[in-house]
Amino acid sequence: MALIHRTTLKPAKVDLLAGWLPTRSWYHGPAAPELVKAGGFRLDDPAGEVGIEFMVVTEGTDAYLVPLTYRAAPLDGAGHALLGTMEHGVLGTRWAYDGCHDPVLTAGLAALVEGRAAAQAQSLTDTPDREVARAYGGADPLPGLGVPVDTDESTEFTLAGGGAVLELRRVLVPGSQPAAGTRGHVTGAWQRPDGTRVRGLFAAVGPRR
């Protein structure tokens, strides 16, 4: 169980993201975004070492899903996925990564889809996030996830065996639902700039297109 600390964080997460998002193929906003944290959830690392967060940020009317991990030391071989470092008022220096390249987060995402892990509230300790829903119709655990590949709208992981992919939506669409033939999925909620709360598809497992 991750403990949520009420403390300072410098720079703020959205400030790190403001410099990183414009370098992504799936980001379609201005070069100098004005980001607003709009939702998301956490997962617990079974080993209790890595912070795992799926953050939703908005830029204007566009919403983006950014999986992040926070570590007490650099992750070997993941320099390309490093957003930067932050100074945490309790934990000290934290290395922030694009979680799609962190094996702790990808294992947690697979466990969430299958129902072996539960989404937790972003800002509360030991509190489930009831707005996150998931479903899985497979009889067997998901096979291993391959190397993530960014597209114009998402990040895709080929599953071991090559017959299916896990698609993590990066550009969120209000009201979106899993497509026909989907084997498993995760949906969640976020807040639009006008204050309305909307739901949409966060991730789906289905056949390779």
pTM listed for this prediction: 0.92
209 residues of the chain, pLDDT tens digit each: 555 545 666 888 999 999 999 999 999 999 999 999 999 999 999 998 999 999 999 999 999 999 999 999 999 999 999 999 998 666 779 999 999 999 999 999 999 999 999 999 987 777 899 999 999 997 788 888 999 999 999 999 999 887 899 999 999 999 999 988 899 999 999 999 999 999 999 999 998 76
Domain count, the chain: 1
Residue 4 falls inside a structural domain: no
**Whole-number pLDDT of residue 87:** 87
- Structural domain of residue 135, as residue ranges? 9-207
Task: Identify the pLDDT of residue 125.
Answer: 76
Residue 3 within any structural domain of the chain:
no
Predicted local distance difference test score (pLDDT) of residue 2: 54
Phi–psi pair at 23, nearest 5 degrees: -90, 0
For 136, the token pair is 């899985």
Q: Is residue 2 part of a domain?
A: no
Cβ-Cβ contacts under 8 Å for 123 (sequence gap 6 or more): 4
